[in-house]
């Protein structure tokens, strides 16, 4: 039993006649569709008009889907009698993103999946119930420490319950102790253009540039006034305490190097500052006698400018939605 294409087209034409402006975005809930996600919901919420076709029993004629449906969506690996319940889910999830539907926009931002991470645990009165107490930090009134606790709990929940989310999560705001970037340079390099802007975009501290010669250091101080220019890699560690996670980034795999997704997970687990180290001459990174993680970005040798490499790395490791 199927809905026939001609009648579906009549229904679509009638619905479209109600819209005076742009073409509506047509959705069909289907087990064959893309699994619904927060990213899909956010994309739908930005459409001016959305039409949802609900099938029943075997669904609708495939020819209508091919010609008029923009996106098929699945709510999971199960079979329902019709598309009405998935349609309700889609509408409800979209509605939460409309300003004013949820009282505080901050509540939407902090919910599970909005940044790709799970939410932290939540508590209310009474403070003690059946032998279980609200964590004392939440009663302290120290908003800074409470925010830090919430971020840490969100990280712990995501890592233990849904580690699969890490690949697409935006984790920068969950790294509370700061992220730095250092670049070892051996000559005046045009491929560092945009370095300061990238650091600002990902909320990184001032970048470090490490150059051996005095001439290079003077040139970089002039070209990159916001960077901190050093002469030796050893000087870099005077800016950190012992609790810093060093990540040396390579274009392609090296011995003992880790996939960027594994490095991203370890950055979330680390309680302290994080330092990403790059070099145009990657053999210099291998020679550095410093403990840390080795990270590779590509599975094969690919030559890209250093500034592109840095931008891709920051996006993969920190995420920026």
* Helix ranges restricted to H, 46-142: 62-68, 84-95, 105-109
Please give the sequence-ordered ranges of beta strands (E in DSSP) within the chain, or none if there are none.
25-35, 50-52, 71-74, 128-129, 132-133, 179-185, 208-211, 228-230, 244-250, 258-259, 273-279, 293-296
Token pair for 306: 């250093």
C-alpha to C-alpha distances, 158 to 67, 119, 175, 295, 309, nearest whole angstrom: 40, 8, 14, 22, 28
User: Looking at residue 118, what DSSP letter applies?
Assistant: P
CA 159 to chain centre: 15
The neighbour count for residue 245, using CB atoms within 10 Å, is: 21
CA 70/CA 181 separation, integer angstroms: 42
CA dihedral defined by 217, 223, 224, 229, rounded to 10 degrees?
0
CA 288 to chain centre: 30
Residues known to be catalytic: 31, 58, 96, 111
Residue 37, phi-psi category: left (phi > 0), alpha (psi -120 to 50), beta (remainder): beta
- DSSP-assigned letters across all residues of 6-26: HHHHHHHHHHHTT-SSSPPEE
């Amino acid at each position: 039993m199927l809905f026939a294409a001609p009648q579906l087209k009549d229904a679509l034409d009638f619905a479209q006649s109600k819209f005076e402006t742009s073409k509506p975005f047509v959705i069909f809930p289907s087990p064959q569709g893309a699994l619904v996600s927060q990213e899909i919901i956010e994309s739908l919420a930005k459409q001016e008009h959305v039409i949802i076709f609900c099938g029943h029993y075997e669904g609708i004629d495939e020819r209508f889907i091919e010609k008029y449906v923009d996106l098929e969506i699945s709510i999971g690996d199960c079979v329902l009698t019709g598309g009405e319940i998935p349609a309700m889910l889609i509408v409800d999830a979209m509605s939460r993103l409309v300003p004013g539907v949820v009282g505080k926009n901050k509540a939407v931002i902090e919910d599970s999946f909005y940044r790709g991470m799970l939410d932290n645990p939540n508590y209310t009165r009474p403070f003690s119930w059946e032998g279980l107490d609200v964590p004392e930090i939440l009663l302290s009134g120290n908003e800074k420490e409470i925010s830090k606790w919430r971020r840490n709990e969100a990280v712990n929940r995501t890592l233990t319950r849904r580690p699969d989310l890490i690949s697409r999560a935006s984790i920068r705001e969950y790294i509370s102790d700061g992220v730095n970037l250092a670049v070892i340079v051996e000559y005046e390099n045009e491929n560092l253009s945009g370095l300061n802007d990238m650091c600002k975009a990902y909320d990184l501290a001032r970048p470090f540039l490490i150059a051996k010669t005095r001439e290079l250091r003077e040139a970089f101080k002039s070209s990159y006034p916001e960077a901190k220019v050093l002469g030796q890699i050893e000087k870099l560690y005077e800016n950190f305490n012992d609790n810093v996670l060093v990540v040396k980034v390579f274009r392609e795999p090296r011995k003992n190097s880790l996939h960027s997704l594994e490095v991203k997970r370890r950055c979330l687990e680390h309680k302290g500052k994080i330092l990403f180290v790059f070099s145009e001459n990657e053999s210099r990174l291998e020679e550095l006698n410093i403990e840390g993680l080795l990270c590779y970005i590509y599975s094969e040798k690919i030559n890209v400018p250093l500034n592109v490499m840095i931008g891709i790395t920051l996006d993969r490791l920190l995420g920026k939605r």
